[in-house]
Amino acid sequence: MTKKFLKQHKINFVEHNIDEQPEYIDQLKAAGFMATPVVKLPNGSAFSGFRPDRLQQLA
């Protein structure tokens, strides 16, 4: 849903798929995330899960 939202609102993003790039799993765990998706915002903050309220700020 997060990727769909970003595409629908024409928001550029870089996807790191942990199934295809497992090296990112350790980075996410080190940052305290235990679930995906993780969205890192331009201001440096990040959140996990589908959060339309936070994503809307990017639109």
Q: What is the CATH number of the domain that holds 54?
A: 3.40.30.10
- How far CA 50 is from CA of 6, 14, 19, 23, in Å, comes to 11, 16, 19, 22
Give the C-alpha separation, 55 to 59, whole Å.
7
Q: How many domains are there within the chain?
A: 1
Q: Sort residue 32 into left (φ over 0), alpha (ψ -120 to 50) or beta.
A: left
Q: What is the reported pTM?
A: 0.81
pLDDT digits (tens, 9 = 90+) for 4-58: 999 999 999 999 999 999 999 999 999 999 999 999 988 889 999 999 999 998 8
Which residue range(s) make up the domain with 47?
A: 2-58
